[in-house]
Amino acid sequence: MTEAEELKQCFHQCMPFFIALGDEIRLTIVEALTEAASRRCGGDYSMENLSLHGLNVKEITEYTSLSRPAVSHHLKILKDAGLISVRREGTCNYYYLSISQATLSLTGLGRRLQSFLNMKEEP
């Protein structure tokens, strides 16, 4: 596989991440989850601790002033992109940030892009 083909593949892997963050409403939801984590996690941002301190749809609805179906739609996109995860507690789902895989993919894309650009600069 050529460097350009590998770069294209990396862009395609990151596409859900870019789509998810390309919407102001979803950025607002990420902001709400970030604020909840900073308030509730006491500085411990491990995945285990984050999962214990998520927000439910009702709380996110209140934060965003969107309908429950609209919030659920945006949460699905964020979840599919690997930016958030969900923990079920009884009949309630709690959503929390879980960007580790998305971050790895994005970092990989950055490395590939830099490598491709460096290759183009060489004589």
Please indicate, yes or no, if residue 37 is contained in any of the structural domains.
Answer: yes
Total number of domains constituting the chain: 1
**Band (34; pLDDT cuts 50, 70, 90):** confident
Q: With respect to residue 40, please indicate whether it lies within any of the assigned structural domains.
A: yes
Q: Is the pLDDT higher at 119 or at 77?
A: 77
- In this prediction the pTM is 0.79
Q: Which domain holds residue 66?
A: 3-118
Structure tokens given for 25: 């409403």
> Any idea which of 25-29, 39-43, 106-110 has the lowest mean pLDDT?
39-43
Per residue in 46-100, pLDDT (tens digit) is 556 555 678 999 999 999 999 999 999 999 999 999 999 999 999 999 999 887 7
On whether residue 123 sits in a domain, the answer given is no
* Residue 15, domain CATH: 1.10.10.10
In a domain, residue 21? The reply is yes
CA distance 36 to 43: 12
Cβ distance 82 to 50 under 8 Å? no
